[in-house]
Structure 1
Amino acid sequence: MGTQFWVKGTVLCKTGAQVVNATGPELDKFIGKISYGLFHGQRLKQCGLGGRPFRFSFFPSLMEVIPASLHISVIFFCSVLIVFSSVASAFFMYNAFGSPYETLHGPLGLYLWNFICCSCSCLVMILFASEVKFHRLSEKIANYNESTFVYKTYTERFDRSFWIILFTFLSHTLNILLIRLAGIQFPFQEAKEATVNTGASDLMY
């Protein structure tokens, strides 16, 4: 989560390319690289005179040029995802080795932890994708503190950290399906005559 491998792309020095009317292989001299995550990143600017590497951090430098509320929301839901994924893993291990009966007949908690993790991971992907694509985050980073040259996103793709969030979402979704296939009934499908346990064990299991 804290790495810079969320987005990887290239940025074009539009001003320099227009000055010399660069096309074809000449355009490569004006294409730099950029990669960043939720907290920091690095960029390599090229405007025909060689690359200029530069490292940056979002806090506090870039908070004025990026959608700060959206970015903080992504970090918040990432934190919630980490916490509840850890909680879900701990209780699943306890459930598997400590109380086999609850593994087959466990109530609300087994669905609760996975649902929270699914919701948070889905929100992280949606919010971060909208920040990158709709708010043109890469261009804002590339043009930060630039008064002479104008940079434009040339290519852009999500990197490994983003896909780990997708894998987490799919894993918790698969957990819910496996719990259902194991014979555990959904809470709203339980018979009315069944006694409902609303104690602490509901949240544990």
Structure 2
Amino acid sequence: MPKLQKKVLFCMAGILSFACALGIAGALGKQLWIKGTILCKTGAMLVNATGEELQKFIGEIQYGLFYGERVKQCGLGGRPTSFSFFPDLLNVIPASIHVSIIIFSTMFIVFALAGTGFFMFNAFGNPYEALHGPVGLYLWSFVSCSCGCLILILFSSEVKMHSLSEKIANYKEGAFTFKTHTEHFQTSYWIILFCTAVHVFNVFLIRFAGFHFPFSKSKELDTTTGAIDLMY
């Protein structure tokens, strides 16, 4: 492939990687990860609410990785409150999983920025083989993609398997019991998914630029090359 086309592809991949870093940083601090509704089970059972009457006992909840808001409905109007995960909810939620999500999100930003630097260096510099060249591009793209996958898996597990919304809704509630009615992932979650897919796309851009996947090259060595070989 001509050198100019390689530069264009690497610049495109670098810009995408940088955009992902910005998107993840923005998503990390927002409370747009989960939005749903919570049912006041105790109140609904006391009056045997059904149909439209049941709507009086359905509140709302929305949260991210650091804070959120909830509106509790127990038949007498909504009770809006805000909450913070640190330090209030650490004894209620699976703290190890939640902290791991934040750590991997931070690492995702760092690796995306590192990938941006490597792509631009390969586009405008004189990269060497090994980690400065295509192997480095594959490495950072793979590590970034892995971080994104771990974030999605851990957060989905925390929400669905550990009933995160119910634990938040029932925090410091002695008289009423709340149950998750509906919940769905919001913008920040889909940004992480999109950024993960972008790094997978970057892998194919590297391959399209003419560089084979690591460990897929022939074992035959070129005896005419020196100790340090330039990529191009």
Q: Normalised by the size of structure 1, how large is the TM-score?
A: 0.90
Q: Could you say which residue in structure 2 is the equivalent of 1:150?
A: 177
Tell me whether 1:16 sits opposite 2:50 in the alignment: no
Q: Could you say which residue in structure 2 is the equivalent of 1:137?
A: 164
Distance 1:106 1:144, change over 3 A: same
Distance 1:48 1:182, change over 3 A: same
**Counterpart amino acid of residue 139 in structure 1:** E
Measure how far apart 1:96 and its partner are: 2.3
Cα deviation per residue 1:47-78 (whole Å; 9 max; x = unaligned)? 01111110000000000010011111111111
Instruction: Tell me how far apart the structure 1 counterparts of residues 226 and 63 of structure 2 sit (CA, whole Å).
Output: 49
Q: 1:58 aligns with which of 65, 78, 85?
A: 85
Instruction: Tell me how far apart the structure 2 counterparts of residues 87 and 23 of structure 1 sit (CA, whole Å).
Output: 55
For structure 2, the residue ranges without an aligned partner over 5 or more in a row are 1-27
- Calculate percent identity across the aligned residue pairs: 61
Tell me whether 1:73 sits opposite 2:123 in the alignment: no
SS of equivalent to 1:41: strand
Measure how far apart 1:106 and its partner are: 3.1
| Alignment check: 8 A CA contact 1:106 1:184 kept | no
Instruction: Tell me how far apart the structure 1 counterparts of residues 81 and 133 of structure 2 sit (CA, whole Å).
Output: 53
Pick which of 190-199 and 61-70 moved more.
190-199
Q: Could you say which residue in structure 1 is the equivalent of 2:61?
A: 34
Q: Could you say which residue in structure 2 is the equivalent of 1:92?
A: 119
Tell me whether 1:121 sits opposite 2:148 in the alignment: yes
Distance 1:144 1:196, change over 3 A: farther
Q: Could you say which residue in structure 2 is the equivalent of 1:110?
A: 137
For structure 1, the residue ranges without an aligned partner over 5 or more in a row are none
Aligned length: 199
**Counterpart amino acid of residue 81 in structure 1:** F
Tell me whether 1:191 sits opposite 2:228 in the alignment: no
Instruction: Tell me how far apart the structure 2 counterparts of residues 8 and 88 of structure 1 sit (CA, whole Å).
Output: 32
Runs of 4+ residues deviating >3 angstroms:
97-102, 194-199
User: Please, what is the CA RMSD of the aligned residues?
Assistant: 2.4
**Counterpart amino acid of residue 91 in structure 2:** E
